[in-house]
């Protein structure tokens, strides 16, 4: 299982991680191999993200909150279960120069000129 979001709070990094840029194709391939749990926080980009990903990244609840478990891994609820993740993918839009989305308004797809993909891997405890 992997975790997907539009951002990731760096304050939740409390153990060694590896953050590497990735491609959309790598994210699509990985999401085809594993169940994806989403903590997507920006509703205004959901439609555009779904169009580029080929699947709906809408989280199971509105504005889900991540927390850390005892092993300092990010945890998200899936139904009645809490799931810990060692792999997090971040998909963030790159907007046209000078464009700032209105608060709460859906971002027109033509205002997104590219997507930035990051893969965050939480290192094993030593």
- 64 CA to centre of own chain: 12
Q: Please report, rounded to a whole number, the percentage of residues in the chain having pLDDT higher than 70.
A: 99
CATH superfamily of 2-122: Uncharacterised protein PF08960, DUF1874 (3.40.50.11170)
Q: Provide the pLDDT for residue 76.
A: 95
Do the beta carbons of residue 89 and residue 1 sit within 8 Å?
no
**Domain ranges within the chain, ordered by starting residue:** 2-122
Query: Sign of the CA dihedral 19, 105, 25, 114?
Result: negative
Give the pLDDT band (50/70/90) at residue 64: confident
Tokens found for residue 67: 């927390």
């Amino acid at each position: 299982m992997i975790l997907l979001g539009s951002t990731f709070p760096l304050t939740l990094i409390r153990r060694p991680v590896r953050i590497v840029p990735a491609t959309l194709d790598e994210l699509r391939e990985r999401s085809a191999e594993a169940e994806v749990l989403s903590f997507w926080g920006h509703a205004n980009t959901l439609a555009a993200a779904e169009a580029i990903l080929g699947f709906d990244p809408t989280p199971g609840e509105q504005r889900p909150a991540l927390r850390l478990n005892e092993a300092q891994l990010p945890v998200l609820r899936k139904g009645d279960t809490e799931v810990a993740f060692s792999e997090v993918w971040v998909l963030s839009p790159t907007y046209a120069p000078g464009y700032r989305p209105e608060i709460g308004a859906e971002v027109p797809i033509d205002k997104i000129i590219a997507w930035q993909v990051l893969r965050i891997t939480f290192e094993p405890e030593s």
